[in-house]
Structure 1
Amino acid sequence: MRNPAPGDAEEPVPGDLRMARALWPVLLASAVGLLPFTVFSTYLVPIADDAGSSVAAMGGLRGLGGLAALLVGTALAPFIDRVPKEWAAAGALVALGVSAGLGAAGGFALFAVFCLLVGASTAVLNPALTAAAADRFGSGKAAGRAATLVTATTSMTAMLAAPVIALPALFWGWQGDLLAVTALSLLLAAVFVARRGKRQETGTPPGAPRVGYLASFRALAAVRGVLPLLLVGFLRTAVFMGYLAYLAAFYEERFDLDAGLFTLVWTLSGASFFVSNLLTGRVTNSAAPRVTTERLLAIGLVAALVSVVGFYFTHWLPLALAMTALHAASHAIVAACVVSLLVRRCGTALRGSALSLNAAGQSLGVFAGAALGGAGLGLAGYPGTAVVFGALVVAALGAAVLVPRGRGGDDVTQAEST
């Protein structure tokens, strides 16, 4: 597909199936990127036993991945747009495959390296894949739809990954799962290199002057609405991941749901997020949307505020389940709107950097949300948690107000001429 020049009339947005056929390696790679930590979390107890470690010590290594993702995602953000994104994704997939192979070997020290490498590789892989998908379809709404198709695939994989890895593990164990991730990662890396060799990637023209490292951050900050969008992404993640951290404990304490029944609640939340993310990406990037992306962003945040505060004061199980579904759906709306706006406003010149910083902010949000939610729970119980998360959503609403609307109710890509 030809990428439109900044002055061209925007091409129609292709259908999801057509996009999926064009983007199948990207979508598959986005799914594979979630598998290493899913295996680690699902089989934490036997992994700790095989390594001769306690569950608490082994589980604590997961934080190393978040720290590595935050540092690497921030530090390498300007470079995502300086190299072909297929090559960046291929390099990240090789690192992911190496990390999975090390994890399969077992041992506490190797799992520490595993967590660091997985966090660092996904910090490059996820924004590179999302930006590469968007680049295949230019700078307008088709690009936004392609990017949200990647995020929808990721959310679907997060919902289905546990049963997908559990069935093969019955035959080859958790070590076999990790070795399968190694094989898939290396195979996909080869596919990306081969596909890159067959076509030219859009972006900075050959011979164009390179923007300096710090200047890249300044150029990104100069794009309309990018900074408040990144803040919304961070705050949204803090609320949702903090909420999920204490979700099982809430349902067990208030409704006496055991772990088996709680898996149904988790499935409800994951399915709500996936469907909402998929539909929002389609609606916001349609040719004639009924509501602007900026307004839908605000609507999603209002729904998140109502659902997260109402959830902790609910004592009726059906209402709690409805709030769980609404809260997941509202966060999916916000996530899709943030990605769509970043992709459409930054264009091919800076979208990789913007998506990388957004992913780094989400890594920070995971830590912040769990810590702040725990503080609220410790000080005032679940009402305290409701106050903390409600305040974070209000702050996100304030940031969303600072996101200017595009001209004519749509977005204007500024980065192409930055």
Structure 2
Amino acid sequence: MKIYRYPEKEDWERIIKRPEFDQSSLFESVEKILQSVKTEGDLAVKRFTQQFDKVVRDEIYVTESEKEMAISSLPEEIRSSIELAAKNIRRFHQVQLVAPQVIETMPGIICWRKSVAIEKVGFYIPGGTAPLFSTILMLGIPASIAGCKEIILCTPPGRDGKIHPAILYTAGICGIKNVFAVGGVQAIGAMAYGTATIPKVDKIFGPGNQYVTAAKQLIQQKGVAIDMPAGPSEVCVLADEEASPAFIAADLISQAEHGADSQVLLVSTSDDLVTLTIAELEKQLSAIPRREFAAKALQYSNAVVTRNISDALDIVNAYAPEHLIIMSKNDEELAEKIISAGSVFLGSFSPESVGDYASGTNHTLPTNGYAKAYSGVSVDSFVKKITYQKLTREGLHAIGPAVITMAECEGLTGHAEAVRVRLATIGEK
């Protein structure tokens, strides 16, 4: 990590800038794959699976017998942990359902809004070096609460052609029956356009590498909704002099191990704390299996020492982190001043890992500064909110003249006439 001590405000933007990678040819190659899937369907999906994943499967669809065989090998400890997480996530998300509220804006005019589930949704779940079965909980549970009628899941097979048993078990407890052994850009294309085997969906959710992210951005331009703009995972730790360097280092490494393109940021008012944390990073890094991924991510990551807590808060809000951990004696007070973050973890005993897995909150969050304008996934992500209104004769009589005046002022005579013709039937001109 590079340390910046007491930087001037004009330098903040440069310091908190995310790493940039050359993507000049990325979108072009992704678009070619998407077009092949669109025109060739399953043939292209299988070809790209063989090319990129080195796997040949006769069937893309994961059968019930395949699921049962895989799940039988899953240790009970993992099953019970997944079930505990599912219970907390369901409890947190269940209360997000809101009953319609009917409002009478004027006598004779009632308006209301109703949440209607998106009918068909698709989940992309990464496999490979880190099979993210926890993401199935984060997507499947709110989708089921929202009432989505059709949920499909695509995930890349391992080199043995099989799906990780934890992915299949988690899909099962979320009620997801349609699982397909497909990953990468071809999975996004299949869900966006539909194939003979994989249904077309209305909205696609889930994280992925830079190719998957690019594919989601491209299909969004063509009318298929996605959960949010997403990039590499990130965490910011805001800490005072009383924070534990060992805890901070562990949190930074836990995020950095996602991949070489992840980023972590430490912001503190204590120079000594930053120095001690850097030493802890070196000590702890050697103990984790994914240290090469974490070490590369840390090369692009920074620590900032500020003169006061006000500057520290301003830097954090400007960075708008996906995950923010506040380790301070005044954690709740500082949290009230956070205006841009995906998810916030308060105190020394709230590691970001608990939100990733089992506390109940959702871990599908905006990255790359999008937390300034986007929220994480929730039940709301799986519904459309439709507004309704109904007017009586008396209601239209009361509001009609104002509508006519406004429509004519905008030069939209037809709008005015749609009101005027009705008013004429109740004695108005």
Shared fold (TM-score greater than 0.5)?
A: no
- Which structure's CA Rg is the greater one? 2
Bigger share in strand: 2
TM (norm. structure 2) is: 0.26
With CA pairs under 8 Å and 6+ residues apart, which has the higher RCO, 1 or 2?
1
Bigger share in helix: 1
TM (norm. structure 1) is: 0.27
